[in-house]
A and B are shown apart, each in its own frame.
Chain A
């Protein structure tokens, strides 16, 4: 192979600039054509554009005006990663993290302007790569933290990992400049160090854009999952998602893990709708959910079965524990003062509690027992908790 893998540094640099420019165009189209996280996409278009400009200016060292090809190129690269650092969190949540990004950019800009270019360039290299590494690291940590809240650990590692690798590579360049100060900084020289560095620039560029695209993809998928699993009004599980959760729990029953269900039906919901309007009914349901949520643990599930009917799944809970939870819910709800457009309305609900027994063939049996308990509560005049032993 030998000569076949020979690379020309100028061509490699130009190709890398081209890849940056095409990537920039891609994000621009994503922002304007698909309206896909427009702020983050525009940020990434800017990141790629700035990096392309920085690299192109760098190639002009020796021919182009010094202010542009030295200070300009360095500042553009730091600015690019500052934008990246600001944009990465907005891929996952709707905020820009611009404060720390701007701080790093200003500090490194000040340092670069203060140290004169010419002769010894090692300090510039250190400032530039120190800032780049710090910005990349901040972005990686942010991405990791946000991802961990929403997806599993391996998935977070897969998505945020490449950003950490990029940070490490940038740190490596800083360390290299500190430990082996003799190395050339002429990017177009074909010395032993430059070709690998150029290749790694290209690879970093590709990794960066691919990672960003996957982060965006993950966000879209999470949104779709929310839409398919959650009830749009109350943002608790919809019926399908809740029955899946109950079925899973029922399978664990065989291994000696008990669970209980609390069936909840809001009292006089139809009257609320008829007298105060549908909007009042919706607000009443949302208030009910607030109360229910304040009474359950992290591991419990709340779902909407339809209309004004809800069900809470309490894993590893027996009938006595579940009745206590239901009683607390009932009391908290009763103590709410629900006022709609000046008219107050007594929000109450009836609760039915049942515990799964090994004799229950399927989760449906437990559900219907909880349902019967709830109807008994209704029959007793509403706003009470009823439990039904199997």
Chain B
């Protein structure tokens, strides 16, 4: 069982959700986060600011700039990881920096609160009909 942590653009959220449920992965947790990436900050500038050059400090601005993003936490069985990653990349790729990152983290256990099932049984979706099918 793996946790896929994806950080994506705010305006790609609906598209991503639609694509994921079309791929058969409907459960996810989403959060609004802020953050920054590798950025385009020149390290010479940083060095300059560190050694106290006015010019460099002015160019850097007052503080670190953080950009709003959406963070998705998707917990899936091992065999679905590739599908999730590919779907997210396909939908979110615009080619310019700031598209986001995807991390895959191993999980030890998951437990479904309703039934107390644990392990892979707690996260498989096959048995549960989708809301619009009921």
> Do the two shown chains form a genuine complex with each other?
no
